[in-house]
Each structure stands twice: as structure tokens, then as C-alpha cells.
Amino acid sequence: MISTMSVQIRRRAHVRQIMGMPISIHVRAHDPDRPEVLGAVERAFAHLQRVDRVLSTWRADSDLLRLQHGEIDEPDDWVAEVTDLCLEAEERTDGLFAAWRALPLGRTVFDPTGLVKGWGVEGAAAHLELAPEISWSIGAGGDIVCGTGRGMRDQDPVWRIGIEDARQAGRIVDVVPLSRGAIATSGSAARGAHIRDPRTGRALDHPGSVSVTGPRLLWADVWATAAYVDPTRAARLIQERDPAYRLINHL
């Protein structure tokens, strides 16, 4: 068998609008249009579409909102899985990440959006890992995960991930090389003050951004959110509890 690294490597990009954002899948292979590769890409997108149907806080027909409105009693199993992960994330970050927030009149709402994207993209990536002789990356709103398919484990093709300056659009402040792993960035430049400090309930709009790299996008995303809330404390917690992750502080 001829190694894919001894022939010309081509790249294909696939983009779909899912979960309210463009999500891109980039594939490198000697033949990125092979049916097994295209099939893996379609299954990855289908996974993300299911995440949106089950866990969206914007779709009135999602299992999550229908459960909260008392319209169903038995939601998809993913609702319980994500709820458990949110509890673990809150404990792991000492409350710098939280999926529960108080509304006026004392009502509390469960909003797992800060975890769902990283978890969902990570799940979609599992389909690409089964495709033979490819390397791939998935990008979704500041979160990127990279990896390889079957037969490429020892090749380590590198993706160079640029981190944009949150204060100056188009300017790259850092480049992170990744073969397999993830990087997540949190900030207010693109979406405004959408991150809240769980300790005060106050929306945060300070300038800059924070990025975290590590083996899993789920936890890189959680830690990036926690670090945007309190970079000093999050840096200490990452070192103590998740040393496989690295904080890139651009605040």
C-alpha cells in the first residue's frame, strides 16, 4: 500500500450552517473525494444537526426546551449526559463555569450552551477518526479540533491555527500548531457580552480573549470560558487539575 504522505496531498473544505454558525470541516488526503471520506463528513454534520435538534436553547422544538416547558417527559439521552457534564464542569472549575443562571423573580434556567458546542463538535469528530488515511480539522465559532483518520496515526500532519487579535480584526497574535488536539477561544469581540460571571450573574464585556489548548475540545472550551471569567484563578486551577491543558492568555 502506498502511503498518503508519498503522493500529493489535497485539501477539501465543507461548510454548513448549524447551531446558528458556520461550521467547517477541512480534510487533507491524497483523494479527499473518496466515498468513505465524504460519508464520514456527512455523518459528522448529521451528528451536529442532531445536537442542535436535541440541545438548542434557540429552537422551540428542541428536546431541551420542550422538557423545560413541560411538553415531554422522556427527552433524548443526550440531555441527561450534558447535564452531568455541566455539573462536572462546574465542580472542576470551582464554579467559574456554570450552566445554571438566575432570572428575575428568582427563577433559575438551565443553559448548557457554553459546553454543548465543544461537546458536540468533539462527538462529530469521532466520525472522521474512522475514515482511512486522512487528517482533518473542524472549526466552529472559535473552537477547533484536529485529528487523523485510520492509518495516519504515525504521520502527524500539522494544522497551524491562528489566533485573531480580539482588539483588531484580521491581525493574528499567535499561531498554534496542532496535529491531534483542540483549541478553544472565549471572548466578547464576536458575540458581545454573552459570557456571565457565575459568581455575580453579571455579563462580561472586557476586551481581549482567552484561548486554551489540550487533548479534548470539550474541556478546552470549558476552561476557556472559565479563564475569560477569571484568568488568574483559572490558570491556577488548570495547572492543578488539568495539566494536559494550556492557557494562552490574550486579555
DSSP 16-46: EEETTEEEEEEEEES-TT-HHHHHHHHHHHH
Tell how strand 172-178 and strand 203-204 pair up. unpaired
Does the pLDDT of residue 208 top 90, yes or no? Answer: no
Tell me, what's the pLDDT at 171? 83
What's the pLDDT tens digit per position in 117-127? 999 999 999 99
What rounded mean pLDDT belongs to the chain?
89
147 vs 249, which has greater pLDDT?
147
- pTM assigned to the model: 0.90
Does the pLDDT of residue 1 top 50, yes or no? Answer: no
Rounded to an integer, the average pLDDT of 200-208 is 78
What are the percentages of helix, strand and coil residues in the chain, rounded to 5? 35, 30, 35
Sorted by sequence, the CB contacts under 8 Å of residue 8 that are 6+ apart come out as 30
What's the pLDDT tens digit per position in 38-88? 999 999 999 999 999 999 999 999 999 999 999 999 999 999 999 999 999
Rounded to an integer, the average pLDDT of 197-213 is 84
